Structure 1
Amino acid sequence: MNGPGFASPTFCLLSVLGFCVVLCFNKPSCLAQVYPGQRWATRTPEHAGMSPEKLDALRDLVGGRGCVVRHGFMVYSWGDQSKSSDVASAMKPVISTLLLMAVQEGKLKSVDEPLADFEPRLKSLNNGKDAGITWRHLASQTSGYGLVERPGQAWSYNDYALALYYDTLTQKVFRTNGTDGLRTWLAEPLQFEDHYTFDAFGSNDRPGRLALSVRDFARFGLLYLRHGKWRDKQLLDPKLGDMAVSSPLAADTPLTSGKGANMLPHQRSIGGGKNITPIGPGYYSFNWWLNRTNKLGQRLFVDAPPDTYVAAGHGGMRMLWVVPGLDLIVCWNDSKIEDHDASPGNPNTQCNQAAKLMVEAVLDGSANGSQASTTLGISDSRFTLNGKPAFLYGISYYGALGASEDFIRRDLDDLQRYGFNWIRVWANWRAFGVDAAAVDGAGRPITEGLEKLKWLLEECDRRGLIVDVTFSRGNGATGPQRLQTLDAHRRAVETVVTALKPWRNWYLDLSNERNVRDNRFTSIDDLKQLRELARRLDPGLLVTASDGGDLPSDELREYLETVKVEFISPHRPRDAQSPTQTEAKTKEYLAQMKQIGRVVPVHYQEPFRRGYGKWNPKAEDFVADLRGALAGGAAGWCFHNGAEHDAPDGQPRRSFDLREKRLFGQLDREERKTIELLRTVVRRPVLRSRTAEGGDSVGP
């Protein structure tokens, strides 16, 4: 291959003309029950909530032949729908689906089983280097097969490894030829209408190359869109299917050196070479391409919803698009698309222009599915927003999950008016009688709080705001929701990361002030395990852990080398000298990290504040601190608004208790003066949702 494969009432279920229909057209839950039978049920674009004019434009841009499926109905098509031909690298997710079927049927223990259990010759190849190749390595293009890297060490889009994958799976696991396996596990259950084969060019020319029609390929997409269910049967375990389209390779995965190593005798390729494209880390998941972001924060297709995933061949000439948030499938073959370089973050690629037309064609799309998203990334020692360098300039908002939606919206309006672009929210907050926790003390979900957190991320995503989601092992702020065991903490991380996976506008603070030797203390080893768990659940997630006070050099090294945080979050000392020290301290951190060999952003997530301790800082102190952070090269800074601990009953609590007054209604006179002065230091446009040009950013 030459490039990467990149309300009306509800009536009974009827069988009409060979297709399966639930006669309910306004309820998404009912629409999800529509499946093709011997042939597709059809609806007009207008009936499916789509613009025929936009679909005409999509057809003209793409060419070849294709089809559009929405809510389980065929709503638009062009070209010969019955023609079966090679889909190139777009066949790779089909191979990985057969892998998942093998696990489901007990033919394999798991996707992490060594391939050498079925291909023993790997055990001695390259002095044992390849003995550890697993099925997951092959499905993620990190096997190192035929290259010097060890399994899992580096990305290499490798069609020799793909041939090894296909041959071993079909011949030694299923013990059949590929077409027979396809027939048994997919073609017959999905009732393919047209000719299909894994020998697109004959049995002696690159076996494993899949040929099928666009309308049959769309059935395969519908199987994933329906989480592995086909009519009343669960063909694919939903956990396995969802894993396949939600486990992108870590964005910071190294690229192969390209240096070759021995392969098995007579090893063939399924199409191309062993190092076809550097594009993959951050996007590639069980041979699907997910519309996630790379380490620069660049989305694969900037105008497609973030939940989109595609099977792609020949630089986009042959593609299957699945867009869950829009209940949409688009498939084409032999098209005019030629995006062999992929160009993540580029709105002008043909694939992205096609994606834009797909989204514009949907006239009744949900906000979550069709709105532009905000993506936080990292480039060296800086943050990026939608791929552009940005300075995170934020404000404390700890008790947001206990506030009304009206208060939150009005506060977010003020945040943007003053130029702030991030807020901090605690995930296990239940203090001062404020019930604002997304998880309980055992790490289990609290439905109301978790749903509010998801709503908040969606609202901030629409506005272009970043959200800091923070856990604490336990102190006065968490109240009874202390995560006092590692198991509880792990469960909390799993609960929240899984729930927030669709969004890219947040980062996770594993443990607030984790170094303080009280209930907050979290060991370096615990942090390491928690960070590994979070990144395994969401490889693109940015993870940190905050420290109470300045970081000693030995602890800084542990954060970088052991925990492997994506950025550091020291909380500056709360004394009168602090603002004058910030610039030098920031430069010191950056110099120390350079000596260690890993430089990450310095994010001042929580400096000093008013109403806490003997020193009560003035507006000029906050301004000096922000100027010092900027001058020193920090990547982010927070206006840490106060709480009157020494006042009767500790009131007002400002960001701690947002039930009676919203955040900006509780600031004292000095704090209001502060935010007016601060926005003269960071003079940038208010961050908005991403535009077609890539979005605005707030930064120095």
Structure 2
Amino acid sequence: MREGGKVLRRLGLAAVVALAASAAAAQTHQFSTDQRNLACGSPTSLNDGWPTATPESVGLDGPRLCGIAARLAATNANVHAVVIVRRGKLVFEQYFNGPDELWGTARGPFEFDATTKHDMRSVSKSVTSLLVGIAIDRELIKSVDDPILKFFPDYSALKTAGWDNITLRHLLTMTSGMQWDQNRPWADLQNDERQLSMDADPFRYVLSKPIVAPPDTVWNYNSGGTDLLGNVIERVSGKSLEAFAGEALFAPLGISDWEWMKYRNEHISSAAGLRLRPRDAAKIGQLVLNKGAWGGREIVSAKWVEQSVTPRFQAIGYFGGLFYYGQQWWMGRTLSGDKDVKWIAAQGLGGQRIFIIPELDLVMVTTSGLYGSPRQGSAALDILANFIVPYIRDNAR
């Protein structure tokens, strides 16, 4: 028995050692699993108003989403963030390092995470449109059919033929007929957007441009019109654009860490200067998806959102191809297998995207550093077509 007791004690010790080793392995496995889950997009809790969930709980394919990183690396997409929201819940966010620009100045490689602000560039235009809508909701502006010169009496001496017929709506839809060319290289002095950023009085610069086509007949991408809209908001509200945006839009959305950059001439860039955290940009998308509401509160009227995202003109997108334009918002569609889904988007130079897909109750945001590249934005469309749309499982609740 004594010898048997020794054997039992030895077996017991071995069992304890084995159990401890098994527990350690399990803990290591759990740690590795947690790390993998974190690495492939588990949302970080920042107490910023976003409820979080797993992709599977909202009908998305988590393992498939985990393949996004490899695809981006293989294609040298220089994407800095991918954020996905479904059914009002943040279910995926992943950040990547890479070179970037801060308001036109190269920097990097840079480390991005959930708390890093990013240039949103012309996504700013869509946000400015929301602010115009709020100003109309508050009756600071009567309607989009108000003539633009009504708001600029101090520039009346500049008036040339055709300007009397230009309304806020024409600026919102980019169909004013104004002579404007910002498709030239940035270094080209004939690039109107460059001149807008450098002129001592950018509003005078825009208002002095000739009208060369009847309004509502030709769509032409135009940051100058958006800058006029931003200044209209300042004039009717008696506040700077930053102050009005902070009080009327960002604070109700729980967005506290943001910037709106200025040109070299110290005038705010309504058309391109906004910097946001990607998960805060997703709140803008969710606001539009919710038809102007956030957390049960109306921030901008459903009527304005509907007007803004109604296709009005055919337009050429940043990523090529023909799409539709509303009031500073883009519309298009993604074909994936037998699925054809329509989307609404805010687009910014370099690959900044907010995609809103109402029929899938989904918002996706990407940020990227492909400024000047013809590939900008292609990664976002690839993610939609090959990692999200085909793998929707709507029976998951």
Q: Is the TM value for this pair above 0.5?
A: yes
Distance in 1 separating the partners of 2:161 and 2:154 = 10
Question: Secondary structure at the residue paired with 2:176?
Answer: coil
2:232 maps to 1:232: no
Question: Secondary structure at the residue paired with 1:78?
Answer: strand
What amino acid does structure 2 have at the position aligned with 1:172?
A: R
2:130 maps to 1:105: no
| Kept in 2: contact 1:67–1:77 (CA 8 A) | yes
Distance in 1 separating the partners of 2:165 and 2:155 = 8
Find the counterpart in structure 1 of residue 246 from structure 2. 183
Find the counterpart in structure 1 of residue 361 from structure 2. 327
- Please state how far the C-alpha of 1:93 moved relative to its aligned partner: 0.7
Structure-2 change in CA distance of 1:138 and 1:281 (3 Å): farther
Question: Secondary structure at the residue paired with 2:355?
Answer: strand
Q: State which of 262, 284, 294 in structure 1 corresponds to 2:325.
A: 284
Find the counterpart in structure 2 of residue 77 from structure 1. 93
Q: How does 1:63-212 map to 2 (within 5 A)?
A: 63-79=79-95, 80-120=113-153, 125=158, 127-145=160-178, 146-147=209-210, 148-169=212-233, 171-192=234-255, 194-199=256-261, 204=266, 207-208=269-270, 209-212=273-276
| Kept in 1: contact 2:84–2:91 (CA 8 A) | yes
Find the counterpart in structure 2 of residue 507 from structure 1. none
Distance in 2 separating the partners of 1:281 and 1:175 = 39
Distance in 1 separating the partners of 2:57 and 2:371 = 29
1:309-361 Cα deviation digits (max 9, x unpaired): 1111115x111111111111111212559774889xxxxx5443222034336
Distance in 2 separating the partners of 1:47 and 1:142 = 44
Distance in 1 separating the partners of 2:264 and 2:352 = 20
What amino acid does structure 1 have at the position aligned with 2:359?
A: G
Find the counterpart in structure 2 of residue 359 from structure 1. 388
Q: Structure 1 stretches (4+) deviating beyond 6 angstroms?
A: 200-203, 276-281
Q: Which runs of 5 or more structure 2 residues have no equivalent in the other structure?
A: 1-45, 96-112, 179-208
1:644-688 Cα deviation digits (max 9, x unpaired): xxxxxxxxxxxxxxxxxxxxxxxxxxxxxxxxxxxxxxxxxxxxx
Distance in 2 separating the partners of 1:94 and 1:305 = 27
Q: Which moved more, 1:303-312 or 1:330-339?
A: 330-339
Distance in 2 separating the partners of 1:69 and 1:321 = 10
Structure-2 change in CA distance of 1:73 and 1:361 (3 Å): farther
Structure-2 change in CA distance of 1:201 and 1:87 (3 Å): farther
Q: Which moved more, 1:233-242 or 1:277-286?
A: 277-286
Question: Secondary structure at the residue paired with 1:189?
Answer: coil
Question: Secondary structure at the residue paired with 1:47?
Answer: helix
Distance in 1 separating the partners of 2:390 and 2:172 = 33
Structure-2 change in CA distance of 1:176 and 1:203 (3 Å): farther
Q: CA RMSD in A?
A: 3.1
Considering fraction of residues, name the structure with more strand: 2
Structure-2 change in CA distance of 1:309 and 1:81 (3 Å): same
Structure-2 change in CA distance of 1:141 and 1:321 (3 Å): same
1:162-183 Cα deviation digits (max 9, x unpaired): 22222232x2122211211111
Structure-2 change in CA distance of 1:174 and 1:190 (3 Å): same
Structure-2 change in CA distance of 1:277 and 1:41 (3 Å): closer
Higher relative contact order (CA 8 A, sep 6+): 2
Q: State which of 268, 279, 285 in structure 2 corresponds to 1:221.
A: 285
- Please state how far the C-alpha of 1:189 moved relative to its aligned partner: 0.5
Find the counterpart in structure 2 of residue 44 from structure 1. 54
| Kept in 2: contact 1:54–1:357 (CA 8 A) | no
Distance in 2 separating the partners of 1:222 and 1:103 = 21
- Please state how far the C-alpha of 1:121 moved relative to its aligned partner: 5.6
Q: Which runs of 5 or more structure 1 residues have no equivalent in the other structure?
A: 1-35, 256-275, 292-298, 344-348, 367-700
| Kept in 2: contact 1:37–1:191 (CA 8 A) | no
Structure-2 change in CA distance of 1:278 and 1:189 (3 Å): closer
1:546-595 Cα deviation digits (max 9, x unpaired): xxxxxxxxxxxxxxxxxxxxxxxxxxxxxxxxxxxxxxxxxxxxxxxxxx
Structure-2 change in CA distance of 1:363 and 1:282 (3 Å): closer
Question: Secondary structure at the residue paired with 1:88?
Answer: coil
What amino acid does structure 2 have at the position aligned with 1:231?
A: G
Distance in 2 separating the partners of 1:335 and 1:76 = 20
| Kept in 1: contact 2:170–2:215 (CA 8 A) | yes
| Kept in 2: contact 1:52–1:361 (CA 8 A) | no
TM-score by length of 2: 0.65
- Please state how far the C-alpha of 1:122 moved relative to its aligned partner: 6.1
Find the counterpart in structure 1 of residue 342 from structure 2. 307
Structure-2 change in CA distance of 1:305 and 1:82 (3 Å): farther
Question: Secondary structure at the residue paired with 1:116?
Answer: helix
Identical-pair percentage: 25
1:56-84 Cα deviation digits (max 9, x unpaired): 23344353112111111111111211111
Structure-2 change in CA distance of 1:57 and 1:125 (3 Å): farther
| Kept in 2: contact 1:338–1:350 (CA 8 A) | no
Distance in 1 separating the partners of 2:276 and 2:376 = 24
Distance in 1 separating the partners of 2:386 and 2:372 = 17
Q: How does 1:148-547 map to 2 (within 5 A)?
A: 148-169=212-233, 171-192=234-255, 194-199=256-261, 204=266, 207-208=269-270, 209-246=273-310, 248-251=311-314, 283-291=324-332, 301-303=334-336, 305-315=340-350, 317-335=351-369, 340=374, 349-360=378-389, 362-365=391-394
- Please state how far the C-alpha of 1:52 moved relative to its aligned partner: 1.7
Distance in 2 separating the partners of 1:364 and 1:104 = 38
Distance in 1 separating the partners of 2:137 and 2:299 = 10
Find the counterpart in structure 1 of residue 64 from structure 2. 54
- Please state how far the C-alpha of 1:45 moved relative to its aligned partner: 1.2
Considering fraction of residues, name the structure with more helix: 2
